[in-house]
Chain A
Amino acid sequence: MDYFFVLLFSGLAVLFILGGIILSYLIAPHRPNRIKNTPYECGEIPLGSAWIQFNVGYYLFALLFLIFDVEAAFLYPWAVILRVVGFPGLLEVGIFLLVLILGLIYARKKGALEWV
């Protein structure tokens, strides 16, 4: 198992977080009052609900990120066999990237990458 240490690490991470929460719950004194229960907002009195509606612009950025994320996933298999496939492989990946760069240019021209 090459991934034994990944498993060990994940297990330890979960244990570390859960252990911290449970231990502090067990040994900390519990004397809540109204002021203690208010959300901490850097010393200011919190205004309104914590649920606010975010700028729709975040969604567009997330969507664009997702598409280029998928593109990156397609580049890994090429990177592994870079020296085996040589120039023809570079050409094929170049065409692949060119089409997507067109998309990036389109997004840039439409101003989708500008923050408003």
Chain B
Amino acid sequence: MIERAMITILFYGFAAAAILLALAVTTSRNLLRAAVCLMGVLLIQAAFYLLLSADFLAGVQVLVYVGGIVVVIAFVVTLTRSSQLLMDHPSPLRMSLAFAASAGFAVVSIASLWVSALHQPGMSHSKVDSTKAIGMALLDTGKTGYVLPFEVVSVLLLAAVIGGIVIARKTPPPSQPFTTGGDKPGEADVTLPKSQRISKDGRDSR
């Protein structure tokens, strides 16, 4: 009984923190600060998974979302000319449209959760080892197993590798090593020896 009460208190505490951090993500004018707040939101989401006894999902959340996706977002932030983005004040029309769209999304998602079978107060969660159960289900070749989707995931990831390389790559000049640049000033001098190049990460090669 005490544990249930504690879980409820923790849930509301985490929920409040998640909402505050999510607001900080959307209202922050500093993109890097927004990315750090997003990291907080995703960490709290992992805590929600733990409260639901989904240990594995919480681990994956930290490993992939907090450790991976936010890192990619942080890199994208450092790649953009953030000063330009910060000056971009949206017009009142765009702001109200965005507010209407997000409010509509909130209403639809709350309504669909309300009527769905997921909305069952006091639903007890089982105490099975979720990682073990997921592993058994993934590698099971029987009728209830998911071994084919598991293998197809690797093909999907392969497509992501190839797609990422193809998109991030610009056409390299012939007999030149692979380059991701070429379309920005300072990157065209890739043919120069390293010492004469304008350093792209800001540090001079002295």
Contact of A78 among B138, B154, B168, B201 (CB under 8 A): B138
Contact in complex: B154, A59 (CB < 8 Å) = no
Nearest CB in chain B: distance from A76 CB, A: 6
Contact in complex: A103, B158 (CB < 8 Å) = yes
Bound together, the chains give a CA A81 to CA B132 distance in angstroms of 6
Query: In which size bucket is the chain B interface?
Result: 35 or more
Contact in complex: A96, B165 (CB < 8 Å) = no
Contact in complex: A81, B164 (CB < 8 Å) = no
Measured between beta carbons, the chain B residues less than 8 angstroms from A77 are: 56, 131-132, 134-135, 138-139
Contact in complex: A73, B60 (CB < 8 Å) = yes
Cβ of A58 within 8 Å of any chain B Cβ, yes or no, is: yes
Measured between beta carbons, the chain A residues less than 8 angstroms from B177 are: 111, 114, 116
Measured between beta carbons, the chain A residues less than 8 angstroms from B6 are: 1
Cβ of B155 within 8 Å of any chain A Cβ, yes or no, is: yes
Contact in complex: A64, B68 (CB < 8 Å) = no
Tell me the residues in window 126-185 of chain B with beta carbons closer than 8 Å to chain A beta carbons: 129, 131-132, 134-136, 138-139, 141, 147, 150-151, 153-155, 157-158, 160-162, 164-165, 168-169, 177-181
Cβ of B72 within 8 Å of any chain A Cβ, yes or no, is: yes
**What mask results when residues 64 to 106 of chain A are scored 1 for a CB within 8 Å of chain B, else 0?**
1111011111101111110011001100110111011011101
Contact in complex: A81, B181 (CB < 8 Å) = no
Contact in complex: B201, A63 (CB < 8 Å) = no
Chain B at the A interface: mostly helix, strand, loop or mixed?
A: helix
Bound together, the chains give a CA A53 to CA B85 distance in angstroms of 13
Contact of B168 among A63, A73, A81, A88 (CB under 8 A): A63
Cβ of B104 within 8 Å of any chain A Cβ, yes or no, is: no
Contact in complex: A85, B181 (CB < 8 Å) = no
Contact in complex: A53, B158 (CB < 8 Å) = no
Cβ of A57 within 8 Å of any chain B Cβ, yes or no, is: yes
Bound together, the chains give a CA A100 to CA B136 distance in angstroms of 22
Cβ of A34 within 8 Å of any chain B Cβ, yes or no, is: no
Measured between beta carbons, the chain B residues less than 8 angstroms from A95 are: 151, 154
Nearest CB in chain A: distance from B156 CB, A: 9
Contact of A59 among B63, B155, B161, B180 (CB under 8 A): B180
Can you give 30 contacting A-B residue pairs, CB < 8 Å?
Answer: A1-B3, A49-B83, A51-B82, A55-B180, A56-B79, A57-B180, A59-B75, A59-B79, A63-B72, A63-B168, A66-B72, A67-B161, A69-B63, A69-B68, A70-B157, A71-B157, A77-B56, A77-B134, A80-B129, A85-B136, A92-B147, A92-B151, A96-B150, A102-B158, A106-B162, A107-B165, A111-B177, A112-B169, A112-B178, A116-B190
Q: B-side interface residues toward A, CB under 8 Å?
A: 3, 6, 10, 47, 50, 56, 59-60, 63-64, 67-69, 71-72, 75-76, 78-83, 129, 131-132, 134-136, 138-139, 141, 147, 150-151, 153-155, 157-158, 160-162, 164-165, 168-169, 177-181, 190, 200-202
Q: A-side interface residues toward B, CB under 8 Å?
A: 1, 3, 7, 49, 51-60, 62-67, 69-74, 76-81, 84-85, 88-89, 92-93, 95-97, 99-100, 102-104, 106-107, 110-112, 114, 116
